[in-house]
Amino acid sequence: MNHHESLPQSTFLNNSSVSEALRTFAECLTEIVIILAPDYTIQFINTAVSTLLGYESAALLNRSFCQLIHPDDYVIVRQYLDQLAVGQCGAQPLRVRLRHDDGSWRIFELHICHHQNQAPINGIVLSGYDITALLAADYALSNNEIRYRQLLELMPMLIVISSYSEGLIRYCNPAGARMFGVSDPAEVLNCPLTEFLSAEEHTRMWRRRQELQNGETLKPARYHIYARDQVVRVVEVQGIIIENSGELQVLSFGFDVSDRIEAERQLNLRAKVLAQINEAVIVTDRSGAIIYLNEMAANLYGVRPEEVIDQPLSRLFTAEPLPYQSYEHPSWNTTLHRGWRGELLHRLPNGRTMIVDVSIDPLYDDELASGGALIVVRDITSRKQAEERLRLLESVIVNTNDAVLILDAEPLQAPGPFIRYANAACTHLTGYATQELIGRSLRILHGPATDPTTLTMLWQAMERQQTIRLEILYYSRAGEPIWVDMSLSPVTNERHQTTHFIALHRDISAQKLASFLEHDRSEILALLLQHSPVNTVLTKLVELIERQRPHWLVWTGIDGHTSVFSKRLSEAAEQIELRIRQLLAHAHHSRPIPIDLRTHWTDLCHYGVTGCWLWPLAGTKGALAIFHTQTEWMSERDQVLLRVVTDLLSLIADHNRLNTQLRYQERYDTLTGLPNRHLLQERIDLALHDAREHRRTVALLFIDLDGFKQINDSLGHPTGDRFLKHVSQVFATCVRPQDTLGRMGGDEFLLLMPDLPDARLADMAAYRLLEALQTPYLQEGQELRLTASIGISLFPRDGVDSMTLLKNAESAMHRAKETKRNGFLHYRPEHSRRAHNRLALEVQLRRAIERHELKVYYQPQYDLVSERIVSVEALVRWHHPQRGPISPGEFIPIAEQSDLIVDIGSWVLREACRQTMEWHQAGYPLLRMSVNISARQLLRPEFIAEVAAIIHTTGLPANCLELEITEGVMLDDPMYAAHQIDQLHQIGVRVVLDDFGTGYSSLAYLRQLPLDALKIDQAFVRAIDEQNQMVTNSRALLRAIINLAHSLGLAVIAEGVETPEQRIALASMGCDILQGYLFAPPLPAAEVWPTILRLQGDDT
């Protein structure tokens, strides 16, 4: 149902059909329609009222319209309605504020009509629009227009509107008027723009207007305005085309850039100036962003200017305080206001650092506000490094022990050169205070004994500006001579001009004094050796002392009668000598005696001396007296000098006694007192000379003790020396009075028997010597017994000169030692041939090693328990190209006596280990390889490392290697041998003592050496087959050896087994392993395993 149907129709519409049409029309309107009763109550509203005011229709009907009116508008509306009722109002609309349902007020423009009793409407009709938004927009537009006009009037930029075609000024703001040189904008209205432009710029203006008309986008253009106030201004203008009141116009706006152009000109000028400054310049804004840097700055920091403009300073560097700076650096804001100067460390992005001197000055704008900073940077890295080097050099100069002087380069001639600097060491050296030296000439350090030639060399070097080093004599402040090692170098400035010299001085007085003393002592000793008179030697000594210490006066006497003195003491010489000898006669003095001449010998003071030191010479009737003129005169160097002088004086005093002793020591052995080789040579030559004249025989007996090395090594050298003395005393009882017994050295003696009527006397003497050694020598309860080997040569049978006779006697001795110890042999020519052949064979053996003529053979070893071949022994063989096979017994001793045994042994060891692994790699079981090594090999410190390296290289397990050593090891160095064997055990290698029973076997040695097995010499094995008492003893001894070895935990190997009987006997004695021709001879490597397989096949 329609919300209006509840109301009586007669209240506002008289005709129902017509009223319905009007109602429908009213509902279609967007404006509000309200019908009021005469009492102003609402009788009808259309939908627009609900839409615009938010009320429901029912809420307004029959409600007084006055309740909707704003209180401020109520009176006006009532008056309007009252006047309308009486016909006094026109048809003009009325603006009224009506309350919205949300409480807000809306402005309506209402048209009001009074239709009282008029069909079809009876009442007051209000219609109208909501003009709230429109009024707000008009208000805003009005305000904006005012503001925009005010803004245009106030803007400092030029704003001009001109006609497009004529260029007449239609509008100009005050700023533009000022640019045109007038105070009132009206003065330029309708004036052509061409009045203010040059013809050229006028043409350009019309061309730009055409371009704007064509729609082109143009950049701002600069024009010169020739203003009416006679000032030419530069304006930068931009324009757009507008249409105003049907006229095509140009809106132009721009700025006066005259000041900016001038500023740019000034800035460019300043930039050119800054670019010419030979320092790095950076300009920043107040935030620290870079706005300019000159080429020096760009080069300093390694950048291009365009890379860093508008970038922070950190793009160039990071500033850090230097290590020696203790103050805090101000903040950037503080720097902008106060500026800052100082030194910093700049760390560049690439990691490079430099020390810089920075000056930061604030830049102010026209209002004196901070606008940025001007930063001037100087790279002082090199300067700082130079300063640091200078400080370091100064520290070195100040603290060095060398005296340093800096001299002016001019003048060099006297009185120059002058000293400009002296370090503390100069005071220590010369005694002059530093201030005493500065400003003085270098010549104050020279004295009467300074060498003129040395000075000439020094002055010439300075004149030529050259470096020189020389030794020169200076004098201290106290007049003491000082020898210095002087190094002088020129110092130049940046123009390479010599401004100064630096002189380094090192005190070498002690060295020079020592050198002089050594030289002088040598001269004095030479005089003594030349048997010069004592007076001559003493005079030389006094001159030497006076040359080194010119202010000393010397007196010296010796042997109770000879005396020498300084020339200045010649007048008082006799008196001085008398008093000194009286003083020495009354008391024995062993130390220097100080004498104060002012209280004791006042009559000597007129010679300029005040005191004396008197040195009695111990062991002789003599003294040295030094008279001095200074109170503090005894320095360390003086004492050194005087000690040497007194020693020389003692030497002079003991000259004859020392000569006698020297002659004795030159001719006699110091240990035994027997003539030595030198005296023996003299006496042999004398005996031969006499024998030639009288046709007599002379015999030489060359004696060498057998086994002396064992005593020396086992019991020590002191025991050995005592034993040699004993032997010499024993031998001395066996010779004739005319014979000479001497010691050649070591354990070798020589007996010279001159004037022999019968050559057999030499044999008798040899027997006596050998027999004398049979008596044991008791040493600390232990009996020492040795034998000797003696070789005899006779003159003239075996040689006619001493050298030949000695050589032949020695050859015979060596042959006796080889064939029959504890015996003697006469020389025979074949002894020399044997020695020659021995030497030749050694040479050939060396070549054989180089030519690979040596081969390794292998002899199997049979285990009696397992009855199998368990090991082989490596044996070296030599097949000479011409002589064929050479027995090991012939070349092995030669190798052992030379250095060849080490090379041969190392090669055999390496080859044997390699061959063992080669067999194993071919599929055969591993055998234990037994290799002989010499004592010289074992005792080499590097031997253990060599064995370990061979095992590692070849891959042979260490427990498969067995090394055989001889009993000679026990003689050379048993303790070290034990250490080496223990080291071999640590790497897993077994050690066997070879040829047991043939050398110097000792139970003590067996206990000392950590052995694994003993190898019995074949001589014991061969004795098994013989039938005599000695064999019985040998078998008993063999059984004892085997039992002894087993008791010590050692296995026993027997070599040289050749018969089944020997095998059975050794097995019955408990022998462990057998080796010999019964099983196989030494075999080449290729025949070893076939032979082993055959033997083991036979056994099984």
> What CATH number is given to the structural domain containing 753?
3.30.70.270
Residues 594, 607 share a domain: yes
The residue type found at 522 is S
Among 770, 796, 827, the domain-final residue is 827
DSSP string for residues in 758-776:
-THHHHHHHHHHHHHTTS-
* Mean pLDDT computed over 762-779: 90
Specify if 964 maps to a domain: yes
Instruction: Round to the nearest angstrom and report the end-to-end CA distance of the chain.
Output: 142
Identify the CATH number of the domain in which residue 891 sits: 3.20.20.450
The pLDDT value given to residue 29: 78
Q: How far is the C-alpha of 849 from the C-alpha of 904, rounded, in Å? A: 8
Q: How far is the C-alpha of 448 from the C-alpha of 621, rounded, in Å? A: 37
List pLDDT tens digits, range 129-154. Answer: 888 888 877 777 777 767 767 777 77
List pLDDT tens digits, range 1031-1084. Answer: 556 677 788 888 888 888 899 999 999 999 999 999 999 999 999 999 999 999
The pLDDT value given to residue 7: 38
Mean pLDDT of the chain, nearest integer = 83
The pLDDT value given to residue 847: 84
Q: How far is the C-alpha of 439 from the C-alpha of 481, rounded, in Å? A: 22
Specify if 176 maps to a domain: yes
Q: How far is the C-alpha of 329 from the C-alpha of 390, rounded, in Å? A: 27
Count: domains in the chain: 7
According to DSSP, the β-strands at 611-616 and 623-628 are antiparallel
Q: Which residues contact 57 (CB under 8 A, 6 or more apart)?
A: 3, 4, 45, 49, 50
Q: Tell me the residue length of the chain.
A: 1100
Specify if 173 maps to a domain: yes
Closest to 12 (Cα-Cα) out of 116, 126, 84: 116
Specify if 75 maps to a domain: yes
**Structural domain for 39, as ranges:** 9-137
pLDDT band at 270 (very low <50, low <70, confident <90, very high): confident
The pLDDT value given to residue 226: 92
Q: Tokens 């800052």 belong to which residue?
A: 340
Please answer whether residues 171 and 160 qualify as being in contact, where contact means their C-beta atoms are separated by less than 8 angstroms. Answer: yes
Q: Tokens 């090199």 belong to which residue?
A: 382
Higher pLDDT, 820 or 666: 666
Please answer whether residues 749 and 743 qualify as being in contact, where contact means their C-beta atoms are separated by less than 8 angstroms. Answer: yes
Q: Which helix (H) or strand (E) holds 471?
A: strand 468-475
According to DSSP, the β-strands at 158-163 and 247-256 are antiparallel
Work out the number of other CB atoms within 10 angstroms of the CB of residue 483: 18
Among 256, 273, 302, the domain-final residue is 256
Please tell me the pTM assigned to this model: 0.35
Token pair of 311, please?
């970038």
Choose the weakest-confidence range: 461-465, 723-727, 987-991, 1040-1044. Answer: 1040-1044
List pLDDT tens digits, range 288-315. Answer: 888 888 888 888 888 888 888 989 888 8
119 pLDDT more than 60: no
- Please provide residue 1032's backbone torsions phi and psi, each rounded to the nearest 5 degrees: -60, -45
- CA distances, 409 to each of 260, 435, 1100 (Å): 61, 20, 108
DSSP string for residues in 715-772:
H-HHHHHHHHHHHHHHHHTTS-TT-EEEEEETTEEEEEEEEES-THHHHHHHHHHHHH
List pLDDT tens digits, range 949-1004. Answer: 999 999 999 999 999 998 766 655 677 888 899 999 999 999 999 877 654 444 55
Residues 524, 639 share a domain: yes
Specify if 396 maps to a domain: no
795 pLDDT more than 60: yes
Residues 1063, 939 share a domain: yes
- CA distances, 643 to each of 134, 536, 646, 656 (Å): 132, 21, 5, 22
Residues 208, 224 share a domain: yes
* Mean pLDDT computed over 727-742: 94
Residues 1020, 880 share a domain: yes
Residues 1073, 937 share a domain: yes
Residues 638, 592 share a domain: yes
Q: Tokens 């143009």 belong to which residue?
A: 218
* Mean pLDDT computed over 417-444: 92
Work out the number of other CB atoms within 10 angstroms of the CB of residue 994: 24
DSSP string for residues in 228-269:
TTS-EEEEEEEEEEEEETTEEEEEEEEEE-HHHHHHHHHHHH
Specify if 394 maps to a domain: no
- Highest mean pLDDT: which range of 6-20, 656-670, 673-687: 673-687
According to DSSP, the β-strands at 748-756 and 740-745 are antiparallel
Q: How far is the C-alpha of 535 from the C-alpha of 526, rounded, in Å? A: 15
* Mean pLDDT computed over 212-239: 87
Whole-number percent of the chain with pLDDT over 90: 32
Residues 527, 503 share a domain: no
Q: How far is the C-alpha of 194 from the C-alpha of 226, rounded, in Å? A: 10
- CA distances, 824 to each of 341, 599, 764, 1090 (Å): 106, 81, 11, 51
Residues 519, 501 share a domain: no
The pLDDT value given to residue 1000: 45
186 pLDDT more than 80: yes
* Mean pLDDT computed over 573-598: 66
Token pair of 545, please?
């002392």
The dihedral over CA atoms of 198, 204, 205, 211, expressed in degrees to the nearest 10, equals: 180
The pLDDT value given to residue 997: 64
Identify the CATH number of the domain in which residue 93 sits: 3.30.450.20
Specify if 14 maps to a domain: yes
Choose the weakest-confidence range: 316-330, 671-685, 730-744. Answer: 316-330
Residues 588, 537 share a domain: yes
Among 660, 681, 703, the domain-final residue is 660
The pLDDT value given to residue 138: 77
Please answer whether residues 39 and 62 qualify as being in contact, where contact means their C-beta atoms are separated by less than 8 angstroms. Answer: no
* Mean pLDDT computed over 884-888: 85
Residues 696, 774 share a domain: yes
Q: How far is the C-alpha of 801 from the C-alpha of 799, rounded, in Å? A: 6
Specify if 909 maps to a domain: yes
- Please provide residue 695's backbone torsions phi and psi, each rounded to the nearest 5 degrees: 50, 55
Token pair of 365, please?
């704008």
Token pair of 475, please?
């004098």
C-alpha 435: how far from its chain's center? 42
- Please provide residue 1078's backbone torsions phi and psi, each rounded to the nearest 5 degrees: -60, -35
Q: Assess whether the previous peptide bond of 415 is cis (omega < 30° from 0).
A: yes
Token pair of 131, please?
């003009």
Residues 564, 417 share a domain: no
Q: Which residues pair with 422 in a beta bridge?
A: 405
DSSP 708: H
